[in-house]
Chain A
Protein backbone atom coordinates (compact mmCIF):
# COMPACT_ATOMS: atom_id res chain seq x y z
CA UNK A 1 0.00 0.00 0.00
CA UNK A 2 1.16 3.47 -0.81
CA UNK A 3 1.25 5.06 2.59
CA UNK A 4 4.78 6.36 2.48
CA UNK A 5 5.70 9.80 3.69
CA UNK A 6 6.32 11.26 0.26
CA UNK A 7 2.81 10.44 -0.95
CA UNK A 8 0.78 13.54 -1.59
CA UNK A 9 -1.23 14.79 1.35
CA UNK A 10 -4.84 15.55 0.33
CA UNK A 11 -6.19 16.92 3.55
CA UNK A 12 -4.63 17.55 6.90
CA UNK A 13 -5.81 18.78 10.30
CA UNK A 14 -3.24 20.29 12.64
CA UNK A 15 -4.37 20.34 16.24
CA UNK A 16 -7.79 21.51 15.08
CA UNK A 17 -10.58 22.34 17.50
CA UNK A 18 -14.13 23.65 17.18
CA UNK A 19 -15.82 25.65 19.91
CA UNK A 20 -19.57 26.12 19.68
CA UNK A 21 -21.80 27.87 22.22
CA UNK A 22 -19.03 27.94 24.79
CA UNK A 23 -18.28 24.23 24.48
CA UNK A 24 -15.53 22.40 22.66
CA UNK A 25 -17.14 19.99 20.23
CA UNK A 26 -13.72 18.60 19.34
CA UNK A 27 -10.23 19.70 20.24
CA UNK A 28 -6.66 18.82 19.44
CA UNK A 29 -7.47 16.81 16.31
CA UNK A 30 -4.53 16.04 14.04
CA UNK A 31 -4.91 13.74 11.10
CA UNK A 32 -3.83 13.37 7.53
CA UNK A 33 -5.31 11.63 4.49
CA UNK A 34 -2.95 10.90 1.62
CA UNK A 35 -3.73 9.79 -1.91
CA UNK A 36 -4.44 6.06 -1.98
CA UNK A 37 -5.03 5.84 1.75
CA UNK A 38 -8.14 4.94 3.74
CA UNK A 39 -8.43 6.68 7.09
CA UNK A 40 -11.32 5.68 9.31
CA UNK A 41 -12.72 7.78 12.14
CA UNK A 42 -14.33 5.77 14.88
CA UNK A 43 -15.80 6.74 18.22
CA UNK A 44 -19.06 6.69 20.16
CA UNK A 45 -22.07 8.93 19.42
CA UNK A 46 -21.27 12.59 20.03
CA UNK A 47 -17.53 11.98 19.90
CA UNK A 48 -17.12 14.51 17.07
CA UNK A 49 -16.69 12.21 14.07
CA UNK A 50 -18.93 14.18 11.72
CA UNK A 51 -17.59 17.47 13.08
CA UNK A 52 -14.05 16.31 12.36
CA UNK A 53 -15.00 15.31 8.82
CA UNK A 54 -16.63 18.72 8.28
CA UNK A 55 -13.50 20.45 9.56
CA UNK A 56 -11.47 18.42 7.08
CA UNK A 57 -13.90 19.30 4.26
CA UNK A 58 -13.87 23.00 5.12
CA UNK A 59 -17.61 23.02 5.92
CA UNK A 60 -16.68 24.18 9.42
CA UNK A 61 -13.82 26.53 10.24
CA UNK A 62 -11.63 25.46 13.15
CA UNK A 63 -11.68 27.82 16.17
CA UNK A 64 -8.11 26.81 16.85
CA UNK A 65 -5.51 24.90 14.88
CA UNK A 66 -5.53 24.57 11.10
CA UNK A 67 -7.15 22.62 8.29
CA UNK A 68 -5.28 22.28 5.01
CA UNK A 69 -6.58 20.94 1.75
CA UNK A 70 -4.64 20.46 -1.43
CA UNK A 71 -5.65 23.31 -3.79
CA UNK A 72 -8.19 22.19 -6.37
CA UNK A 73 -9.05 19.07 -4.40
CA UNK A 74 -12.07 17.30 -5.91
CA UNK A 75 -14.28 15.85 -3.21
CA UNK A 76 -17.00 13.22 -3.26
CA UNK A 77 -19.07 13.46 -0.09
CA UNK A 78 -21.69 11.22 1.49
CA UNK A 79 -23.15 13.21 4.39
CA UNK A 80 -24.73 11.47 7.34
CA UNK A 81 -28.23 12.87 6.99
CA UNK A 82 -29.49 14.17 3.68
CA UNK A 83 -33.24 14.46 3.50
CA UNK A 84 -34.73 15.70 0.24
CA UNK A 85 -38.00 17.58 0.61
CA UNK A 86 -40.91 15.83 -1.08
CA UNK A 87 -41.84 19.16 -2.69
CA UNK A 88 -38.68 18.89 -4.80
CA UNK A 89 -39.11 16.52 -7.76
CA UNK A 90 -35.76 14.73 -8.00
CA UNK A 91 -35.07 11.55 -9.89
CA UNK A 92 -31.97 9.49 -9.13
CA UNK A 93 -30.69 10.47 -12.57
CA UNK A 94 -31.05 14.20 -11.86
CA UNK A 95 -29.65 13.77 -8.35
CA UNK A 96 -26.50 12.20 -9.77
CA UNK A 97 -25.91 15.38 -11.81
CA UNK A 98 -26.48 17.75 -8.93
CA UNK A 99 -23.02 19.32 -8.69
CA UNK A 100 -21.49 18.54 -12.06
CA UNK A 101 -22.16 17.35 -15.56
CA UNK A 102 -21.83 13.60 -16.04
CA UNK A 103 -21.50 11.59 -19.18
CA UNK A 104 -23.80 8.64 -19.67
CA UNK A 105 -21.13 5.94 -19.12
CA UNK A 106 -19.79 7.35 -15.88
CA UNK A 107 -23.30 7.70 -14.53
CA UNK A 108 -24.40 4.18 -15.40
CA UNK A 109 -21.14 2.61 -14.23
CA UNK A 110 -21.34 4.33 -10.87
CA UNK A 111 -24.94 3.24 -10.32
CA UNK A 112 -24.07 -0.31 -11.42
CA UNK A 113 -21.10 -0.48 -9.06
CA UNK A 114 -23.39 0.12 -6.08
CA UNK A 115 -26.12 -2.12 -7.50
CA UNK A 116 -28.81 0.48 -8.11
CA UNK A 117 -28.71 1.04 -11.90
CA UNK A 118 -32.31 -0.19 -12.08
CA UNK A 119 -33.44 2.72 -9.88
CA UNK A 120 -32.12 5.39 -12.22
CA UNK A 121 -35.48 6.92 -13.10
CA UNK A 122 -37.12 6.52 -9.70
CA UNK A 123 -37.81 9.57 -7.55
CA UNK A 124 -35.24 9.81 -4.78
CA UNK A 125 -37.98 10.15 -2.17
CA UNK A 126 -39.32 6.69 -3.09
CA UNK A 127 -36.09 4.86 -2.22
CA UNK A 128 -35.53 2.81 0.92
CA UNK A 129 -32.80 3.84 3.34
CA UNK A 130 -30.32 1.30 2.01
CA UNK A 131 -31.06 2.06 -1.64
CA UNK A 132 -30.63 5.76 -0.95
CA UNK A 133 -27.21 5.19 0.66
CA UNK A 134 -26.15 3.24 -2.43
CA UNK A 135 -27.25 6.13 -4.65
CA UNK A 136 -25.34 8.57 -2.43
CA UNK A 137 -22.18 6.48 -2.70
CA UNK A 138 -22.64 6.17 -6.48
CA UNK A 139 -22.94 9.99 -6.72
CA UNK A 140 -19.75 10.49 -4.77
CA UNK A 141 -17.87 7.96 -6.90
CA UNK A 142 -19.20 9.32 -10.21
CA UNK A 143 -17.50 12.64 -9.51
CA UNK A 144 -14.18 10.80 -9.86
CA UNK A 145 -12.93 12.52 -6.72
CA UNK A 146 -9.41 12.89 -5.32
CA UNK A 147 -10.89 12.46 -1.87
CA UNK A 148 -13.97 10.51 -0.80
CA UNK A 149 -15.50 11.55 2.51
CA UNK A 150 -18.03 8.99 3.69
CA UNK A 151 -20.03 9.65 6.85
CA UNK A 152 -21.50 6.33 7.97
CA UNK A 153 -21.85 5.29 4.32
CA UNK A 154 -23.57 1.97 4.90
CA UNK A 155 -26.27 3.03 7.37
CA UNK A 156 -29.48 1.19 6.57
CA UNK A 157 -27.76 -1.21 4.17
CA UNK A 158 -28.31 -4.93 4.75
CA UNK A 159 -25.38 -7.01 6.03
CA UNK A 160 -24.24 -8.67 2.78
CA UNK A 161 -24.58 -5.30 1.04
CA UNK A 162 -22.50 -3.68 3.76
CA UNK A 163 -19.53 -5.96 3.16
CA UNK A 164 -19.84 -5.51 -0.62
CA UNK A 165 -19.89 -1.72 -0.30
CA UNK A 166 -16.79 -1.68 1.90
CA UNK A 167 -15.12 -3.91 -0.69
CA UNK A 168 -16.20 -1.46 -3.41
CA UNK A 169 -14.68 1.46 -1.49
CA UNK A 170 -11.41 -0.46 -1.14
CA UNK A 171 -11.47 -1.32 -4.86
CA UNK A 172 -12.05 2.28 -5.90
CA UNK A 173 -9.17 3.37 -3.71
CA UNK A 174 -6.92 0.80 -5.37
CA UNK A 175 -8.05 1.51 -8.94
CA UNK A 176 -8.15 5.28 -8.80
CA UNK A 177 -5.67 6.01 -6.04
CA UNK A 178 -8.01 8.43 -4.30
CA UNK A 179 -7.86 9.07 -0.59
CA UNK A 180 -10.79 8.03 1.62
CA UNK A 181 -11.87 9.55 4.91
CA UNK A 182 -14.55 7.29 6.34
CA UNK A 183 -16.65 7.44 9.48
CA UNK A 184 -17.84 4.36 11.25
CA UNK A 185 -18.96 3.75 14.80
CA UNK A 186 -17.58 0.25 14.75
CA UNK A 187 -13.98 -0.70 14.18
CA UNK A 188 -14.38 -4.38 13.42
CA UNK A 189 -16.48 -3.84 10.29
CA UNK A 190 -13.98 -1.57 8.57
CA UNK A 191 -10.83 -3.09 9.96
CA UNK A 192 -9.84 -5.12 6.91
CA UNK A 193 -10.23 -2.25 4.48
CA UNK A 194 -8.57 0.59 6.35
CA UNK A 195 -4.97 1.78 6.65
CA UNK A 196 -5.26 4.22 9.50
CA UNK A 197 -7.78 4.42 12.30
CA UNK A 198 -8.39 7.53 14.35
CA UNK A 199 -10.40 6.86 17.49
CA UNK A 200 -12.20 9.99 18.69
CA UNK A 201 -13.87 10.99 21.88
CA UNK A 202 -13.92 14.78 21.63
CA UNK A 203 -10.19 14.52 21.12
CA UNK A 204 -8.01 11.90 19.43
CA UNK A 205 -7.94 9.15 22.01
CA UNK A 206 -5.64 6.97 19.95
CA UNK A 207 -4.68 6.38 16.36
CA UNK A 208 -2.58 4.18 14.17
CA UNK A 209 -3.00 0.99 12.21
CA UNK A 210 -6.28 -0.84 12.87
CA UNK A 211 -4.83 -3.57 15.07
CA UNK A 212 -2.78 -1.12 17.07
CA UNK A 213 -5.90 0.90 17.81
CA UNK A 214 -7.91 -2.18 18.68
CA UNK A 215 -5.27 -3.13 21.23
CA UNK A 216 -4.79 0.36 22.58
CA UNK A 217 -5.84 0.66 26.23
CA UNK A 218 -7.53 3.99 25.46
CA UNK A 219 -9.70 2.37 22.78
CA UNK A 220 -10.51 -0.57 25.02
CA UNK A 221 -11.28 1.72 27.92
CA UNK A 222 -13.57 3.84 25.77
CA UNK A 223 -15.52 1.03 24.22
CA UNK A 224 -15.30 -1.08 27.34
CA UNK A 225 -16.58 1.68 29.53
CA UNK A 226 -19.36 2.78 27.20
CA UNK A 227 -20.69 -0.60 26.32
CA UNK A 228 -19.22 -3.80 27.68
CA UNK A 229 -21.30 -5.83 25.24
CA UNK A 230 -19.94 -3.91 22.26
CA UNK A 231 -16.39 -4.21 23.55
CA UNK A 232 -16.68 -7.97 23.84
CA UNK A 233 -18.29 -8.16 20.42
CA UNK A 234 -15.65 -5.94 18.87
CA UNK A 235 -12.71 -7.72 20.38
CA UNK A 236 -14.12 -11.07 19.55
CA UNK A 237 -14.21 -10.00 15.94
CA UNK A 238 -10.79 -8.36 16.06
CA UNK A 239 -9.23 -11.69 16.71
CA UNK A 240 -11.43 -13.63 14.35
CA UNK A 241 -11.05 -11.34 11.43
CA UNK A 242 -7.33 -10.84 11.39
CA UNK A 243 -5.15 -13.65 10.18
CA UNK A 244 -1.59 -13.10 11.46
CA UNK A 245 0.03 -12.38 8.11
CA UNK A 246 -2.26 -9.54 7.09
CA UNK A 247 -2.14 -7.95 10.49
CA UNK A 248 1.60 -7.83 10.53
CA UNK A 249 1.60 -6.34 7.07
CA UNK A 250 -0.75 -3.50 7.93
CA UNK A 251 1.20 -2.83 11.10
CA UNK A 252 4.58 -2.73 9.38
CA UNK A 253 3.39 -0.41 6.68
CA UNK A 254 1.64 1.98 8.96
CA UNK A 255 4.07 2.44 11.81
CA UNK A 256 6.93 4.24 10.04
CA UNK A 257 4.56 6.67 8.38
CA UNK A 258 2.38 7.47 11.33
CA UNK A 259 5.08 7.87 13.93
CA UNK A 260 2.92 7.49 16.99
CA UNK A 261 3.62 5.43 19.99
CA UNK A 262 1.32 2.45 19.66
CA UNK A 263 1.93 -1.19 20.29
Chain B
Protein backbone atom coordinates (compact mmCIF):
# COMPACT_ATOMS: atom_id res chain seq x y z
CA UNK B 1 0.00 0.00 0.00
CA UNK B 2 1.20 3.51 -0.76
CA UNK B 3 2.14 5.83 2.05
CA UNK B 4 -0.35 8.50 1.06
CA UNK B 5 -3.15 5.97 1.20
CA UNK B 6 -2.18 4.70 4.65
CA UNK B 7 -2.09 8.31 5.81
CA UNK B 8 -5.53 8.89 4.35
CA UNK B 9 -6.94 5.77 6.02
CA UNK B 10 -5.48 6.81 9.37
CA UNK B 11 -6.70 10.37 9.03
CA UNK B 12 -10.20 9.37 8.00
CA UNK B 13 -10.40 6.77 10.77
CA UNK B 14 -9.33 9.33 13.36
CA UNK B 15 -11.91 11.78 12.10
CA UNK B 16 -14.63 9.13 12.14
CA UNK B 17 -13.95 8.34 15.81
CA UNK B 18 -15.08 11.78 16.91
CA UNK B 19 -17.29 12.79 13.99
CA UNK B 20 -19.71 9.99 14.86
CA UNK B 21 -20.59 11.12 18.41
CA UNK B 22 -20.96 14.69 17.20
CA UNK B 23 -23.16 13.38 14.40
CA UNK B 24 -25.40 11.82 17.07
CA UNK B 25 -25.83 15.23 18.70
CA UNK B 26 -26.63 16.74 15.28
CA UNK B 27 -29.36 14.13 14.82
CA UNK B 28 -30.73 14.42 18.37
CA UNK B 29 -30.77 18.21 18.37
CA UNK B 30 -31.91 18.59 14.74
CA UNK B 31 -28.82 20.56 13.82
CA UNK B 32 -28.29 19.24 10.28
CA UNK B 33 -28.68 22.67 8.75
CA UNK B 34 -26.34 24.03 11.39
CA UNK B 35 -23.74 21.44 10.32
CA UNK B 36 -24.16 22.57 6.71
CA UNK B 37 -23.66 26.16 7.77
CA UNK B 38 -20.39 25.29 9.49
CA UNK B 39 -19.27 23.34 6.44
CA UNK B 40 -20.12 26.18 4.06
CA UNK B 41 -18.37 28.71 6.22
CA UNK B 42 -15.32 26.46 6.18
CA UNK B 43 -14.97 27.17 2.44
CA UNK B 44 -14.66 30.82 3.37
CA UNK B 45 -11.95 29.73 5.78
CA UNK B 46 -10.14 27.91 2.97
CA UNK B 47 -10.33 30.95 0.72
CA UNK B 48 -9.07 33.27 3.45
CA UNK B 49 -6.19 30.93 4.29
CA UNK B 50 -5.11 31.08 0.65
CA UNK B 51 -5.53 34.83 0.44
CA UNK B 52 -3.64 35.53 3.66
CA UNK B 53 -1.22 32.62 3.21
CA UNK B 54 -1.92 31.10 6.63
CA UNK B 55 -2.23 27.35 7.42
CA UNK B 56 -5.49 25.81 6.24
CA UNK B 57 -6.83 23.99 9.30
CA UNK B 58 -6.47 26.81 11.85
CA UNK B 59 -8.01 29.25 9.35
CA UNK B 60 -11.00 26.99 8.71
CA UNK B 61 -11.46 26.38 12.43
CA UNK B 62 -11.39 30.10 13.23
CA UNK B 63 -13.89 31.07 10.55
CA UNK B 64 -16.29 28.19 11.35
CA UNK B 65 -16.13 28.97 15.03
CA UNK B 66 -16.75 32.68 14.43
CA UNK B 67 -19.81 31.88 12.31
CA UNK B 68 -21.07 29.37 14.90
CA UNK B 69 -20.70 31.75 17.83
CA UNK B 70 -22.32 34.57 15.84
CA UNK B 71 -25.25 32.24 15.40
CA UNK B 72 -25.38 31.35 19.09
CA UNK B 73 -25.50 35.06 19.97
CA UNK B 74 -28.08 35.96 17.30
CA UNK B 75 -30.26 33.00 18.32
CA UNK B 76 -30.61 34.41 21.80
CA UNK B 77 -32.16 37.60 20.43
CA UNK B 78 -35.06 35.74 18.84
CA UNK B 79 -35.84 38.43 16.27
CA UNK B 80 -35.85 35.98 13.39
CA UNK B 81 -36.10 32.19 13.24
CA UNK B 82 -32.98 30.06 13.60
CA UNK B 83 -33.75 28.49 10.24
CA UNK B 84 -33.67 31.86 8.49
CA UNK B 85 -30.50 32.87 10.34
CA UNK B 86 -28.81 29.66 9.24
CA UNK B 87 -29.87 30.28 5.66
CA UNK B 88 -28.37 33.73 5.82
CA UNK B 89 -25.05 32.76 7.41
CA UNK B 90 -24.65 29.53 5.46
CA UNK B 91 -25.11 30.96 1.99
CA UNK B 92 -23.48 34.30 2.71
CA UNK B 93 -20.28 32.60 3.87
CA UNK B 94 -20.38 30.17 0.94
CA UNK B 95 -20.85 33.05 -1.52
CA UNK B 96 -18.05 35.13 -0.03
CA UNK B 97 -15.80 32.07 -0.06
CA UNK B 98 -16.50 31.46 -3.76
CA UNK B 99 -15.99 35.11 -4.64
CA UNK B 100 -12.64 35.22 -2.82
CA UNK B 101 -11.64 31.98 -4.58
CA UNK B 102 -12.45 33.53 -7.96
CA UNK B 103 -10.46 36.67 -7.13
CA UNK B 104 -7.42 34.55 -6.20
CA UNK B 105 -7.43 33.02 -9.71
CA UNK B 106 -6.48 29.55 -8.51
CA UNK B 107 -6.92 26.61 -10.86
CA UNK B 108 -10.47 25.33 -10.56
CA UNK B 109 -9.17 21.87 -9.69
CA UNK B 110 -8.21 23.22 -6.30
CA UNK B 111 -11.76 24.40 -5.65
CA UNK B 112 -13.07 20.95 -6.62
CA UNK B 113 -10.64 19.35 -4.18
CA UNK B 114 -11.93 21.51 -1.38
CA UNK B 115 -15.55 20.82 -2.25
CA UNK B 116 -15.16 17.07 -2.67
CA UNK B 117 -12.10 16.08 -0.63
CA UNK B 118 -8.81 14.65 -1.77
CA UNK B 119 -6.84 11.81 -0.18
CA UNK B 120 -3.60 12.89 -1.80
CA UNK B 121 -3.37 15.97 0.36
CA UNK B 122 -2.94 14.41 3.80
CA UNK B 123 0.54 15.02 5.22
CA UNK B 124 2.17 13.49 8.26
CA UNK B 125 1.67 16.77 10.11
CA UNK B 126 -2.03 16.60 9.29
CA UNK B 127 -2.26 13.15 10.87
CA UNK B 128 -0.71 14.43 14.07
CA UNK B 129 -3.09 17.38 14.09
CA UNK B 130 -6.12 15.19 13.36
CA UNK B 131 -5.32 12.80 16.17
CA UNK B 132 -4.61 15.64 18.59
CA UNK B 133 -8.00 17.16 17.79
CA UNK B 134 -9.66 13.74 18.03
CA UNK B 135 -8.09 13.15 21.43
CA UNK B 136 -9.11 16.58 22.72
CA UNK B 137 -12.69 16.12 21.48
CA UNK B 138 -12.87 12.65 23.02
CA UNK B 139 -11.70 13.99 26.39
CA UNK B 140 -14.21 16.85 26.35
CA UNK B 141 -17.00 14.46 25.36
CA UNK B 142 -16.17 12.14 28.26
CA UNK B 143 -15.86 14.91 30.83
CA UNK B 144 -18.95 16.81 29.73
CA UNK B 145 -21.05 13.81 28.75
CA UNK B 146 -23.74 14.16 31.42
CA UNK B 147 -24.42 17.88 30.88
CA UNK B 148 -24.27 17.37 27.09
CA UNK B 149 -26.94 14.67 27.19
CA UNK B 150 -29.02 16.51 29.80
CA UNK B 151 -28.95 19.69 27.70
CA UNK B 152 -29.90 17.73 24.61
CA UNK B 153 -32.97 16.30 26.33
CA UNK B 154 -34.14 19.61 27.82
CA UNK B 155 -32.36 22.89 28.41
CA UNK B 156 -34.52 24.07 31.32
CA UNK B 157 -34.48 20.72 33.09
CA UNK B 158 -30.70 20.51 32.84
CA UNK B 159 -30.27 24.03 34.16
CA UNK B 160 -32.77 23.60 37.02
CA UNK B 161 -30.96 20.41 38.03
CA UNK B 162 -27.60 22.12 38.34
CA UNK B 163 -26.03 21.47 34.93
CA UNK B 164 -24.68 24.26 32.74
CA UNK B 165 -26.49 23.84 29.41
CA UNK B 166 -25.16 27.06 27.85
CA UNK B 167 -21.57 25.97 28.41
CA UNK B 168 -22.43 22.49 27.11
CA UNK B 169 -23.92 24.01 23.95
CA UNK B 170 -20.86 26.19 23.34
CA UNK B 171 -18.57 23.18 23.87
CA UNK B 172 -20.57 21.20 21.34
CA UNK B 173 -20.32 23.97 18.76
CA UNK B 174 -16.55 24.38 19.31
CA UNK B 175 -16.03 20.62 18.91
CA UNK B 176 -18.05 20.59 15.69
CA UNK B 177 -16.02 23.47 14.24
CA UNK B 178 -12.80 21.66 15.17
CA UNK B 179 -13.83 18.36 13.64
CA UNK B 180 -15.08 20.01 10.47
CA UNK B 181 -11.80 21.90 10.16
CA UNK B 182 -9.69 18.75 10.27
CA UNK B 183 -12.10 16.72 8.13
CA UNK B 184 -12.41 19.14 5.26
CA UNK B 185 -9.33 18.00 3.31
CA UNK B 186 -10.52 14.43 3.13
CA UNK B 187 -14.29 14.76 3.00
CA UNK B 188 -14.74 18.17 1.43
CA UNK B 189 -17.14 21.00 2.15
CA UNK B 190 -20.15 19.62 0.32
CA UNK B 191 -20.63 16.32 2.11
CA UNK B 192 -19.21 16.73 5.55
CA UNK B 193 -22.62 16.90 7.22
CA UNK B 194 -23.58 13.62 5.58
CA UNK B 195 -20.44 12.00 6.98
CA UNK B 196 -21.51 13.16 10.43
CA UNK B 197 -25.18 12.26 10.19
CA UNK B 198 -25.49 8.98 8.27
CA UNK B 199 -23.63 6.77 10.79
CA UNK B 200 -25.74 8.25 13.61
CA UNK B 201 -28.97 7.56 11.72
CA UNK B 202 -27.76 4.03 10.99
CA UNK B 203 -27.01 3.48 14.67
CA UNK B 204 -30.43 4.65 15.89
CA UNK B 205 -32.22 1.36 15.29
CA UNK B 206 -29.61 -0.62 17.20
CA UNK B 207 -29.63 1.42 20.39
CA UNK B 208 -31.83 1.80 23.46
CA UNK B 209 -29.58 4.35 25.16
CA UNK B 210 -27.67 7.36 23.81
CA UNK B 211 -24.34 5.78 24.78
CA UNK B 212 -25.00 2.63 22.76
CA UNK B 213 -26.05 4.73 19.77
CA UNK B 214 -22.72 6.58 19.90
CA UNK B 215 -20.73 3.34 20.00
CA UNK B 216 -22.59 1.90 17.01
CA UNK B 217 -22.22 5.19 15.14
CA UNK B 218 -18.45 5.17 15.71
CA UNK B 219 -18.25 1.63 14.35
CA UNK B 220 -20.31 2.44 11.27
CA UNK B 221 -18.38 5.67 10.64
CA UNK B 222 -14.97 3.98 10.81
CA UNK B 223 -16.19 1.19 8.53
CA UNK B 224 -17.61 3.67 6.01
CA UNK B 225 -14.45 5.77 5.83
CA UNK B 226 -12.22 2.75 5.27
CA UNK B 227 -14.47 1.20 2.63
CA UNK B 228 -15.06 4.60 1.02
CA UNK B 229 -11.37 5.43 0.76
CA UNK B 230 -10.62 2.02 -0.63
CA UNK B 231 -13.27 2.61 -3.30
CA UNK B 232 -11.86 6.05 -3.96
CA UNK B 233 -8.43 4.57 -4.62
CA UNK B 234 -9.79 1.66 -6.63
CA UNK B 235 -11.98 3.67 -9.01
CA UNK B 236 -10.25 7.01 -8.78
CA UNK B 237 -13.31 8.76 -7.40
CA UNK B 238 -13.23 11.79 -5.07
CA UNK B 239 -12.84 10.72 -1.44
CA UNK B 240 -15.72 12.71 0.13
CA UNK B 241 -18.49 11.32 -2.08
CA UNK B 242 -16.93 7.86 -1.90
CA UNK B 243 -17.06 7.87 1.90
CA UNK B 244 -20.66 9.07 1.89
CA UNK B 245 -21.67 6.42 -0.65
CA UNK B 246 -20.03 3.78 1.56
CA UNK B 247 -21.86 5.23 4.56
CA UNK B 248 -25.13 4.98 2.71
CA UNK B 249 -24.33 1.36 1.75
CA UNK B 250 -23.72 0.55 5.43
CA UNK B 251 -27.05 2.19 6.27
CA UNK B 252 -28.92 0.14 3.64
CA UNK B 253 -27.28 -3.12 4.74
CA UNK B 254 -28.12 -2.38 8.38
CA UNK B 255 -31.70 -1.69 7.37
CA UNK B 256 -31.92 -5.07 5.68
CA UNK B 257 -30.25 -6.78 8.65
CA UNK B 258 -32.59 -5.28 11.25
CA UNK B 259 -35.61 -5.97 9.01
CA UNK B 260 -34.47 -9.55 8.75
CA UNK B 261 -34.06 -9.78 12.51
CA UNK B 262 -37.56 -8.49 13.18
CA UNK B 263 -39.18 -10.74 10.55
**Contacts from A to B (Cβ < 8 Å):** 54, 57-59, 74-77, 79, 82, 84-85, 87-91, 94-95, 98-100, 121, 123, 143, 149
Chain B, interface residues (CB within 8 Å), range: 20 to 34
Residue pair B207, A99 in contact (C-beta under 8 Å) = no
Contacting residues, chain A, for B158 (C-beta < 8 A) = 98-99
Q: How far is the CA of A79 from the CA of B158 in the complex (A)?
A: 11
Give the chain A neighbours of B208 by CB distance below 8 A: 89, 91, 121, 123
Q: B150 to chain A: which residues have CB within 8 Å?
A: 98-99
Min CB–CB distance B209 → chain A (angstroms): 5
User: A77–B157 contact, CB under 8 A?
Assistant: yes
Contacts of A59 in B (CB 8 A): 156, 159-160
Q: Is the CB of B27 within 8 A of A54?
A: no
User: Assuming A75-B162, A99-B163, is B204 touching A87 (CB within 8 A)?
Assistant: yes
Q: Contacting A89 at CB < 8 Å: which of B154, B156, B204? A: B204
Within the complex, which residue of B153, B156, B159, B161 is in contact with A90, where a contact is CB–CB below 8 Å?
Answer: B153
Which of B150, B153, B207 counts the most chain A CB atoms within 10 A?
B153
Specify which of A54, A57, A77 lies most central, judged by the most chain B CB atoms within 10 Å of its CB: A77
Q: Does residue B30 face the partner (Cβ distance < 8 Å to A)? A: yes
Contact A99 B157 (CB under 8 A): yes
The reply to whether the CB of B254 lies closer than 8 angstroms to some CB of chain A is no
Give the residue among A88, A94, A143 with the most B Cβ atoms within 10 A: A88
Q: Which residues of B contact A143 (CB under 8 A)?
A: 161
Residues of chain A within 8 A (CB-CB) of B152 are 88
Q: Is the interface of B mostly helix, strand, loop or mixed?
A: helix
Partner of B210, one of A57, A79, A94, A99: A94
B70 at the interface (CB under 8 A from A): no
Residue from the set A95, A98, A121, A143 with the largest chain B CB neighbour count within 10 Å:
A98
Residues of B within 8 Å of A57, CB to CB, are: 156, 159-160
Tell which of A54, A74, A82, A90 touches B209, judged by Cβ atoms closer than 8 Å: A90
Query: Could you say which of B29, B156, B204 contacts A79, with CB atoms under 8 Å apart?
Result: B156
A10 → B minimal CB distance (Å)? 13
Residues of B within 8 A of A84 (CB): 153-154
Chain A residues lying within 8 Å of B161, measured Cβ to Cβ, are 75-77, 98-100, 143
Interface flag for B213 (CB, 8 Å): yes
Report the bound CA distance from A91 to B162 in whole Å.
Answer: 22
B91 within 8 A of A: no
CB distance from A24 to the nearest CB of B (A): 17
B212 beta carbon closer than 8 Å to chain A? yes
Q: Are A149 and B160 in contact, CB atoms less than 8 angstroms apart? A: yes
Alpha-carbon gap, A90 to B162, bound state (A): 21
Closest to B160 in A: A77
Interface residues in B186-210 (C-beta closer than 8 Å to A): 204, 207-210
Q: Is B149 an interface residue (CB 8 A)?
A: yes
Chain A residues with CB under 8 Å of B162's CB are 74-75, 99
**Nearest Cβ on chain A to B31's Cβ, whole angstroms:** 11
Q: Pull 5 A–B residue pairs with CB atoms less than 8 Å apart, ordered by A.
A: A77-B161, A84-B153, A85-B28, A121-B208, A149-B160
Most chain A beta carbons < 10 A, residue from B30, B161, B204: B161
Instruction: Name which residue of chain A comes closest to B207, CB basis.
Output: A89
Residues of A near B28 (CB, < 8 A) are 85, 87-88
Set A77, A98, A121: member contacting B149, Cβ < 8 A: A98
Chain B min CB distance to A69 (Å) = 11
- A87-B27, A87-B28, A94-B210 known; A75 vs B153 contact (CB < 8 Å): no
Contact B160 A88 (CB under 8 A): no
What's the Cα separation between A121 and B209 when bound, in Å? Answer: 10
- With a cutoff of 8 Å between Cβ atoms, the chain B residues found around residue A77 in the complex are 156-157, 160-161
Min CB distance B29 to A, Å, is: 8
A89 contacts B157, C-beta separation under 8 Å = no
Known: A75-B161, A98-B149, A99-B146. A91 touches B209 (CB 8 A): yes
B210 near A89: Cβ-Cβ < 8 Å = yes
Q: List, in ascending order, chain B residues with CB within 8 A of A88's CB.
A: 28, 152-153, 210
Using A98-B153, A99-B162 as known contacts, list a sample of 20 further A-B pairs with CB atoms less than 8 Å apart, ordered by residue number in A: A57-B156, A58-B160, A59-B156, A59-B159, A75-B161, A77-B157, A77-B160, A77-B161, A79-B157, A79-B160, A85-B30, A89-B207, A98-B146, A98-B149, A98-B150, A98-B158, A100-B146, A121-B208, A143-B161, A149-B160
